[in-house]
Amino acid sequence: MPLKDNNNPTLKLPSWVENAVVYQIFPDRFKRSKTSYKKNNFEFMNWEDPPDLQGFLGGDLFGVIERLDYLKGIGINCIYLNPIFSSAANHRYHTYDYFKVDPILGGDEALYSLIDEAHKRDIFIVLDGVFNHCGRGFWPFHHIIENGKSSPYKNWFKLHETPFKAYPKENETCGYDCWWNDPALPKFNFENKDVEDFLLSVGKYWVEKGIDGWRLDVAEEIPFSFWDKFNYEMKRINSEVWVVGEIWGDARKWLNKKYFDGVMNYRVGWSTISWVADFKLNSPYKNSFYPLKNLTSKEYINIFSYI
């Protein structure tokens, strides 16, 4: 969903975005090359096995490179990668090292090769930035696990008790702020300037390495002031970098070019599913932002009047 800024007509989207055809890739499940797992002697699930929360099928970034010509051939000119930084989860939203591409995905070498090969084909690369929370293995959080209130990093997170319980038993609280009460995802404390500076340095580092954009996870849970700085710093390096916020619900408060070039328009996405179902929708799926429900054509059209 592109944004407009009537107060500053000189602000424009990156020139390539208007004609972007974006293809989302979940790296673990896209294509397994021989490069990564043979080099590292990895053992994975069988490729035909059904997905598992703690299982790895072994798709990697070299596999993405092997399919670039196919993607180009079907009209793709932008790839959005789900998280690729080092993590103990196959989806990699539990980041523990923001400056390293996960070795299972081929490491930094694989990303740099992907950027080069994609750019040769006029394909842009957008990374997933998970900056609201991290994984339990992230070094400042691990430092607190080991040192408790004596850790100099204790203010990187909002702790309610020390020692806290990073792996609480059933019906126990963890003792710190975490995303949607999941102790595996401790939330950053954005009142701490060190946290802001660290995450800004992450954003700048990968833009300088050649990526073309950031898709920013659960952006609405992070202060506006941070996104103002983030967008400025990315554009200062490369004015053509695309900065997109993930906003689940009503995005109007974020429709300001000083924060994002656009947002992920889930409202239209869910509404489209609800409309094309032709009143055959029978799903127990609900969420607090926009539950799936059958829509008439008139109701569907009305959704667009609020964008």
* Active site (catalytic) residues: 217, 246
Q: Based on the number of CB atoms within 10 Å of its own CB, is 274 exposed (0-12), middle (13-18) or buried (19 or more)?
A: buried
Please count the other Cβ atoms lying within 10 Å of the Cβ belonging to residue 146. Answer: 9
Which residues, in sequence order, are CB contacts of 201 under 8 Å at separation 6+? none
Cα separation, 164 vs 23, in Å, equals 40
| 168 phi and psi angles, rounded to 5 deg | -65, 150
54 alpha-carbon distance from chain centroid:
19
Is-contact 252 284, C-beta < 8 A?
A: no
Could you identify the residue written with the tokens 């059209």? Answer: 301
β-bridge mates for residue 133, sequence order: 187
Is-contact 170 123, C-beta < 8 A?
A: no
DSSP 268: H
Got the DSSP string for 188-222? B-TTSHHHHHHHHHHHHHHHHTT--EEEETTGGGS
Structure tokens at 177: 């702020």
Got the DSSP string for 110-167? HHHHHHHHHHHTT-EEEEEE--SB--TTSHHHHHHHHHGGG-TTGGGB-BSSSS--SS
Cα separation, 28 vs 44, in Å, equals 10
